[in-house]
Chain A
C-alpha cells in the first residue's frame, strides 16, 4: 500500500469505517511512513474538533415576516392572475375588433360610402331636383341625383326595418306624404335613376347596398365650392368638381368612395369626414 492510497483511507480509518481487510496493510504502512503517520495524527485532531459539541443559537423570530411574505406573494399572484386575465380579455377584444374590421364589406359600409357621396356631391338629393346628364355642364347650381346605368335591381324599401346607426347620422329628409319611399325614373337613353334621398332613414342596410354607386355610374355635381389643392381638405368639394358629372364612382373601402370625371383629370376620394382631391 502506497502513501496515496493510505492518504485516501485515513478519513475512513478515523471515522471507523476502514474495511477490515485493508487494516493490516494500512497500519503497517503508517508504522513505516512518518509522513502518513503525521497526516493521520492531523486528521484525528481535525476529527476531534469536528466532534466537539457545537453551540446552538436561538433563532430570531421570523414567523410574522414569513406570513407577511406569503400573503404578499399570494396577493401578487392573484393580481398577476387578474392582469393576465385582463390582458387576455383585451387581446381577445382586439382580435374580435380586427376580425370585424377585416370582414367583407357589409351593408353599413355601403351606407357610409353613400353618406360620403351625399355629403361631397351635394346637399339636396330630392326627387324634385332631378338633373339629367344633359343639364349638368351648365355649371348652374343643380340638385343632385344619383343615376346608375348598371341598373341595380330596384326594390321597394321596407320601412319596417330597424334604423341603423349610420343612417341616423344622415340628415333626415322627410319624404313627401303618401309618396313611395323609393322610386326610380328611366331616362330616354335607358339610364335608370334612383333617388337616393327617397331612401328611408331606417332602410335596411343590406338593401341600401344594392343602390350604392359602382364603377360606370354617373353622378352630377353642383354648387361651386372653394378650390383646394391636392391633399386632405375639410372643405367638401373643389370648384373644379362643381357641376362635373363623374364618369365613375366606386367604393374604395367601407368608408370611402372615389369619383372620377369623364376626362379622367379630376378624381376625388370622398368620405363622410373629409375629401381628398387630385387637382386637374
Chain B
C-alpha cells in the first residue's frame, strides 16, 4: 500500500506547522498548559477520554508486519492509571483486525518489544528517550501527548488545537518501526512529516 498524505487543507497545515515550531522551541515550559478540561462541539468528553478513544481507533488504521499477525494486540500505557483505565474501558472484548486487544502497563523497557501500541503520557516524559530506544525497529506504534515527541522520534503526537484534540504523524518513524499507516489516518492528521512509503517494500 502506498501512503499518500492528504492533499487538502494546505493553508491550515502551514499555520499548524508554524504553531508546532513555536511549541517545539518552548517545549519544556509548555507542558503545563495541556491539563484542564476541554470542550468539543460534538463531544464534551475530557481530553483523556478523547485521547483514549483516538488511541484505540489508531489501531484500526495501522498495519502491523505479518510476523505479529494472530498474536494479541497489546496496548501498553506508560502513564496514569486513570488513562489506562479509560483505554481498557473502551476495549470491551472488541477485536481489531481479528486480534484480541489487551491493555497493559509498562513495567520494563524489555517488555516494550511485545507491545503493539506504546502510549507515553506527558507525565512520563523523563523516560521517553529510553522507551523510544526500546521500541526502535520493533513493530510498535509509539504515541504520546508530549510536545516534542515527533522530533524525538515518535510516530504519533497528540496536539491540542483550539481545544480540539488533533494529532500529527511522523511517517519516517513509522517506517523505521515497519508500520504502514492508512491514508485515511493521514488525511485527518493535522500534520504529517517524513516521506510516505519510504522503506515500505514489504
Mutual binders A and B: no
B interface residues, Cβ below 8 angstroms from A = none
- Using CB atoms and an 8 Å cutoff, list the residues of chain A in contact with chain B: none
